[in-house]
Structure 1
Amino acid sequence: MSTGTVSRRNFLRTTGITGAALCLGFSFVADGKENEVIVTTDAEQSALELNAWIKIDSNGLVTLIDHRAEMGQGSYQSVAQMLAEELEVNLKDVNVVFAQGDPKKYGGQITGGSSTIRGSYKKLLKLSATAREVLITAAANKWKAPATECYAESGMVIHKPSGKKLHYGELVADASKLEAPKNIVLKKRSDYKLIGKPLHRKDTPMKTNGAAIFGLDKKLPGMLYAVVERNPRFRGKVKSFDDTAAKKVPGVTQVIVVKMEVFNTIREGVAVIANSTWAAMQGRKALKITWDDTGFEHMDTAEVYLRQQQELKKEGLSFKKQGDPDGILATATKVLDVVYQTPYQAHSAMEPVNCIAHYQKDKVEIWGPIQAPDWVQGDISKKFNVPIDNVRVNMTFLGGGFGRKAFLDYPYEATMISKQIGAPVQVIWTREDDTTQGPYRAGISYRAQGAITNGEISAVKFRMAGQNIDHWSNPKRGVPNDSTTEGFLAPYFESIKNISFADVPFEIPIPNMWWRSVYASTNGFAYESFVNELAHEAGKDPLDFRRTYLKDERCQKLIDKLEEISGWKSRKKNEGYGVAITECFASTVGQIVKVSRSIDGKVKIDKVWAVMDCGWYVNPDIIKAQIEGSVVMALGAATIHEITFKDGMVQQKNFYDYPMPRITDIPPIEVHIIDNDADAGGVGEPGLPAFSPALTAAIFDLTGKRIRKLPFNMATV
């Protein structure tokens, strides 16, 4: 980890701290494998790049620089809740501000893979506890008393024998001169006052009273606004355009051609720049553009899946194999051989994509809803040949991201437009732009083969044919997709002796990207649906069947909980129950879905039970909200919407033809969390994959119909 000088002006401007302050952060040692806590009062004099900053000013205000984005997943609350617990301050006295993009200071800043808490919670707890201990030591020194006679509570250090108190603000000057203690003892979970409690989120009032700043809320002096009419085909170009009518719209200032890098291709369009969003949008409507769509294939959805079906006849690239599944399948009396299909999906975050960029020769500054500020910083530095330290990326709140806002296209496009027009500009994507331009979750087909011998699984073989995200950014031909088994529980590999997974390479020019839970969202449907089919073939109860193969103690407890809360053993006639259990991002989630027929004979979802084992956790209400949101998102992807292509163009435009689940579609969702002392796992993504296989299993239990293709229509089951 390199070191450098932190600008005191920027430090004070970012935190709002004036006067004496206690500052703590981590500094990587030379080998980069370990880090130490640094205590200082002046970042400039310390000449160190520190991350995970905690600052306490002379008024006792605590500021935490959060290096990750808040996009609805609850990290803004969770990081503050952890800090307040170990620092012994009131949660209301903790101020959270977003860090700028700076991998030298903060390391990886991508908000994805449910990594915010699980990737940094131990460091943040240690940092907070260290701050508490140096404050206690500073107070003890003032009183000339043993530190063991002092304790911290509600932002004060208290001398137990005498009852004397000192506010943290009174101690920061002295505390900042102390060295950080080396052996910090963290609280036991049984001693927590805040962690593990369903506390109200700090960002909720801000988001309901308008104080929270999202991308569209940010304004700069002299800022212009732009919308872009992009080619509706992903590789098409601008042949010509007539902007006569567009320039007559009051407020329109310029019309220019823009080229935006999308992975290894260029997306072309015509940008209308104006002094208001409305004027820019009206100017775009008045444009007349002729597109050049020659020289590349125009894809149709039916053709995409037909190709995948053909590819699944191949063996593909082996990703994981044990035993001799091919030999057993070749000689088995009966082999299940089925294909599952999952659709392309848009991200459809509540807040469409937007970004502000200000290009000024040798420096660039960006503001917006960004999931990966460090990636954006590096990308802009490289593509515009600007020193990386001169690229400043500022995060706002995100109105949802789901992976889309970790992509680099929209900050690049905004920077390119700002450079061309010589002014700061806010580029705004409409819902139609967001829906028709992608990138998307890739549609994938799976071939699953399995044999049951004497009521037990003797062999299983999976092949997947779908786009590999890695092939866009880092082409590795001949290497299987490293997410081929994502969603499939590790204990299966211990109990199923003959098993194989293969990736069948499949490439087409449709931009694909991470989508909530990434490949687990599609893998989970195929793999857990097939486990349900194998259970049926073996004549076994599907929950008991899993109990046989998921022998891990944590899985057994999760299965016990599912059985208990759902009344699985007391299922009634004319009720359909389905189960699925998936794992991703270090958390395991099991779901049971109950369905029945309504008076009109249509299948309806009566209830969803979900059990999550995410190990150590902060706020159970946030976990429940994330699982509920995941179920709603999974319900839409399984039964309501999909992205389809015709003649190389996306057919869906907005929510009228890419509808979202309505409140009347949402069944009761009951969430339970397993308590244990395991390391923290993810929360924001793992709640999604288990729903669709549990739902289709429940429908089979009720109707006898197997559903292997998503989405399907609940009204016609």
Structure 2
Amino acid sequence: MKTNRRNFLKVSTAAGGGLVLGFNWLQACNPASRQVSDAVFHPNAFLKIAADGWVTLQAPNPEIGQGVKTALPLIVAEELDVDWAMVKVEQAKLDTENYQRQVAGGSGSVRHGWEALRQAGATAREMLKQAAAKEWKVSPDECTTEKGEVVHTASGKRMPYGELVEKAVALPVPENPPLKDVKDFHLLGTRIPNVDNPKIVTGKMDYGMDTKREGMLIAVVARPPAFGQKLKSFDDTETKKLPGVKQVVSFDDKVAVLGTSTWEVMKGRDALKIEWTEDDPRETSSEHQKAFEALLKNNSEKPKRDDGKVEEVFKKGNRLIEGTYEAPFLAHNTMEPMNFFADVKENHVELYGPTQLPAHSRKVVSEALEIPEEKIEVGMTRMGGGFGRRLDIAFVVEAAKVSQLAKAPVKVVWTREDDMTGGYYRPAGMYKYRAALKDERLVGWHLQASAINSGNGTRENNFPAGAVQNFRVDYHKLESPITTGPWRAPNHNFIAFSEESFVDEIAHSLKKDPVAFRLELLEDAKQQPIGEVQYDPDRYKAVVQKAAEMAGWGTKALPEGVYQGFAAHYSFSTYVAQVAEVSVQQGKINVHKVYCAVDCGIVVNLSGAETQIEGGIMDGLGHALYGELTFKNGKAQANNFHQYQLMRIPDAPEIEVAFLQNNENPTGLGEPGLPPIPAAVANAVFAATGKRIRKLPFRKSGLA
């Protein structure tokens, strides 16, 4: 049933008795109602209030650690005015008939669902008030709600929601239920533990790797060892001699070994004798660097943005500065490697496991197997990390194809080495900046950028666009067989480092305080905007000022050898500014503390919000310090953590986060904490040493 005004909200009595409210998580519509006796009802998403007062909420979005399984139901509970202790949350399966956005990506779950979730809770609350008022023979206006009860203000009478369920079902649904004033929130903005915490800390949480089914086989897949190679032939004679190996199947230049235990099939894969083609082009990271340099010698045919007369201002004898910044490939390194379960039968397919794109997974599997989508069921597990890696669905398709070929239920498991050498990656890139300075002002800005396979790697409408009279962005995409894709804060994760580092360079060249210089540019964007400005200069300024205030920028006496660096960035509709306190000792960068100011609108769950910002800072810092994956002849040169360094506990700084208070709708939080931190640290290193870091990771900066 597709969503429309009439089926946006449906009220029914469920099999166990109760009030069920189905609602669309993306679009607020005028609701209608119907009564269903004992029918099983699958709403777009649903709120069930049982006769015992318990509230059950379906969580439709995949949970990858970003906290939406807690945050989305919390929004409904706030408007419903229910006691959070009386709420149960269940993970929904894929249901495109009733959910429109079952996606984990783009920091979008809360901001896309905000209005509809509030309306669902408010509608239920108003119906319960009407039911109580009818029982008490008073006006609903004389009633309020509090923690799962309707209260008659004058008499003090109270009635629990559970006692009102059957009465509420028969009532008309209000067209436009009033939403709470922000000042009346009692759940949102507080600290609410993650609903899965008890299972996580006791080891009872089910992840994809925990999936077990009767008759299930485990499969590992031999994939081309280098990008650009293909399967030529294979001999599985020795593999089939192993007692735990049941089948060997090949598909799409891959060979899968299936059996009853992970260890046996891994040994079986090792026993395969495979010949791979050697005649396809295979690339090396040094070749990419040369290609970037060649591309950046010229402008693109069509600029991504072109304000004013950039070339003219660079030829007028103005003072010029330039800097070229480089970023390597990065692996995602989720704690839980890729895995997925599939059971392909003639009339039904079950897919089950950790994916950030369940609907797209079903679509692509449908096309690959030539099986109609309506015959494919997709269930979602909690994920041991995503970071964009599980937006790729090759591992889902693998499981489906192997199951179809083997005619058995199959769980495909990737090892860490499989994922690091044959997954997909944050693309490498090179960005060349030029600035023209006149009369102590920035009058020209030119970015020439290039990255591997990345179609929109410049964020050309972000700050300082709109603040500079002459502003141009050119982009060159470098095609490569190396698979690339979203990595936490796609594009932003490198553009913020290069852009904010260069802004700092300009400020120092002008002999201006880096914070004051940013505020000056933001004021220009507000008072005299050039072209389109897609950010709010006032909100941007507010986080810049708050972070500087938190850190005592320019006023606090720092310990000897400790220096501060500043950076700010706008991503996923959220404004973030950071100050890093850093020392450099014998070439080693030590980050002691990070101050972070965030404007994400209304904070839904303070605990979850802090966790996301802190996690983003740690992730961004660790990869800035150490992260790098290189390729030689198409083969990744690291296959596990002994070759791919991550940040360790002793590297972790103290982090202080402040959220600016306002009544704006919530915006993204899963990614915006990451982009500014590399630049904040690099700018602090410059303050400490006078040396600019223009190449990631920092461990190769030659500070020693």
Q: TM-score normalized by structure 1?
A: 0.91
Q: Does 1:392 align with 2:377?
A: yes
> Which range moves more in the overlay, 272-281 or 306-315?
272-281
The answer for the alignment partner of 2:645 in structure 1 is 659
Residues 670 and 34 (structure 1 numbering): CA distance in 2 closer, same or farther, change over 3 Å?
closer
CA distance in 1, matches of 2:2, 2:195: 34
Q: Does 1:35 align with 2:21?
A: no
Deviation at 1:33, TM superposition (A): 7.8
The answer for the alignment partner of 2:65 in structure 1 is 72
Contact 1:41 1:173 in 2 (8 A): no
Residues 601 and 394 (structure 1 numbering): CA distance in 2 closer, same or farther, change over 3 Å?
closer
The answer for the alignment partner of 2:534 in structure 1 is none
Q: Secondary structure at the match of 1:493?
A: coil
Deviation at 1:43, TM superposition (A): 9.5
Contact 1:26 1:35 in 2 (8 A): no
CA distance in 1, matches of 2:166, 2:139: 20
Residues 702 and 299 (structure 1 numbering): CA distance in 2 closer, same or farther, change over 3 Å?
same
* TM alignment of 1:260-279, pairs within 5 A: 268-279=253-264
CA distance in 2, matches of 1:238, 1:443: 27
How many residue pairs are counted as aligned between the two chains?
A: 682
CA distance in 2, matches of 1:135, 1:280: 57
CA distance in 2, matches of 1:209, 1:338: 50
Contact 1:332 1:451 in 2 (8 A): no
CA distance in 1, matches of 2:665, 2:170: 34
CA distance in 2, matches of 1:196, 1:566: 24
Q: Does 1:541 align with 2:541?
A: no
The answer for the alignment partner of 1:22 in structure 2 is 19
CA distance in 2, matches of 1:211, 1:40: 39
The answer for the alignment partner of 2:216 in structure 1 is 223
Q: Does 1:2 align with 2:2?
A: yes
Q: Does 1:130 align with 2:123?
A: yes
Contact 1:54 1:62 in 2 (8 A): yes
Residues 176 and 383 (structure 1 numbering): CA distance in 2 closer, same or farther, change over 3 Å?
farther
The answer for the alignment partner of 2:569 in structure 1 is 582
Contact 2:446 2:472 in 1 (8 A): yes
Residue identity matched to 1:610: C
Contact 1:452 1:537 in 2 (8 A): no
Contact 2:457 2:495 in 1 (8 A): no
CA distance in 2, matches of 1:690, 1:119: 24
Residues 583-625 of structure 1, C-alpha deviations (whole Å, 9 max, x = no match): 1100011111111244x57442221111111111212221221
Residues 421-479 of structure 1, C-alpha deviations (whole Å, 9 max, x = no match): 1111100111111101121010111011111111100100112101344xxxxxxxxxx
The answer for the alignment partner of 1:360 in structure 2 is 345
* TM alignment of 1:518-537, pairs within 5 A: 518-537=490-509
Unaligned runs of at least 5 residues, structure 1: 5-10, 260-267, 470-480
The answer for the alignment partner of 1:349 in structure 2 is 334
Deviation at 1:505, TM superposition (A): 2.4
Residue identity matched to 2:2: S
CA distance in 2, matches of 1:165, 1:666: 51
Deviation at 1:326, TM superposition (A): 1.4
Deviation at 1:518, TM superposition (A): 0.2
* TM alignment of 1:252-263, pairs within 5 A: 252-259=245-252
Residue identity matched to 1:524: A
Contact 1:441 1:512 in 2 (8 A): yes
Deviation at 1:66, TM superposition (A): 1.6
Residue identity matched to 2:29: N
Residues 644-679 of structure 1, C-alpha deviations (whole Å, 9 max, x = no match): 101110111011101211001111111111111122
CA distance in 1, matches of 2:37, 2:439: 69
Residue identity matched to 1:237: K
Residue identity matched to 2:576: V
2:445 to 456, 460, 468: 460
The answer for the alignment partner of 1:702 in structure 2 is 688
> Which range moves more in the overlay, 694-703 or 332-341?
332-341
Residue identity matched to 1:617: V
- Identical-residue share of aligned pairs (%): 37
Residue identity matched to 2:299: E
Deviation at 1:630, TM superposition (A): 1.1
CA distance in 2, matches of 1:54, 1:637: 41
Contact 1:136 1:150 in 2 (8 A): yes
Q: Secondary structure at the match of 2:611?
A: helix
CA distance in 2, matches of 1:553, 1:3: 38
1:484 to 446, 449, 458: 458
Q: Secondary structure at the match of 1:51?
A: coil
CA distance in 2, matches of 1:714, 1:621: 36
The answer for the alignment partner of 2:467 in structure 1 is 495
1:300 to 284, 292, 302: 284
The answer for the alignment partner of 2:91 in structure 1 is 98
Residues 536 and 358 (structure 1 numbering): CA distance in 2 closer, same or farther, change over 3 Å?
same
Q: Secondary structure at the match of 1:606?
A: strand
Residues 685 and 44 (structure 1 numbering): CA distance in 2 closer, same or farther, change over 3 Å?
farther
CA distance in 2, matches of 1:91, 1:98: 17
Deviation at 1:565, TM superposition (A): 1.1
Residues 311-337 of structure 1, C-alpha deviations (whole Å, 9 max, x = no match): 111201311111111110122333212
1:180 to 158, 173, 176: 173
The answer for the alignment partner of 1:202 in structure 2 is 195
CA distance in 2, matches of 1:27, 1:303: 49
Contact 2:304 2:475 in 1 (8 A): yes
The answer for the alignment partner of 2:590 in structure 1 is 604
The answer for the alignment partner of 1:428 in structure 2 is 413
> Which range moves more in the overlay, 559-568 or 279-288?
279-288
Residue identity matched to 2:507: A
Deviation at 1:20, TM superposition (A): 2.3
> Which range moves more in the overlay, 98-107 or 334-343?
98-107
Q: Secondary structure at the match of 1:226?
A: strand
CA distance in 1, matches of 2:469, 2:104: 37
The answer for the alignment partner of 2:426 in structure 1 is 441
Deviation at 1:241, TM superposition (A): 1.9
Q: Does 1:505 align with 2:498?
A: no
Contact 1:24 1:40 in 2 (8 A): no
Q: TM-score normalized by structure 2?
A: 0.92
Deviation at 1:372, TM superposition (A): 1.1
Contact 2:353 2:379 in 1 (8 A): yes
Deviation at 1:46, TM superposition (A): 11
Q: Secondary structure at the match of 1:678?
A: coil
What's the C-alpha RMSD, in Å, of the aligned pairs?
Answer: 2.4
Q: Does 1:624 align with 2:610?
A: yes
Q: Does 1:613 align with 2:599?
A: yes
The answer for the alignment partner of 1:567 in structure 2 is 552
Contact 1:23 1:41 in 2 (8 A): no
Deviation at 1:716, TM superposition (A): 4.7
> Which range moves more in the overlay, 440-449 or 130-139?
130-139
> Which range moves more in the overlay, 203-212 or 329-338?
329-338
The answer for the alignment partner of 2:528 in structure 1 is none
Q: Secondary structure at the match of 2:118?
A: helix
CA distance in 1, matches of 2:170, 2:362: 34
The answer for the alignment partner of 1:411 in structure 2 is 396
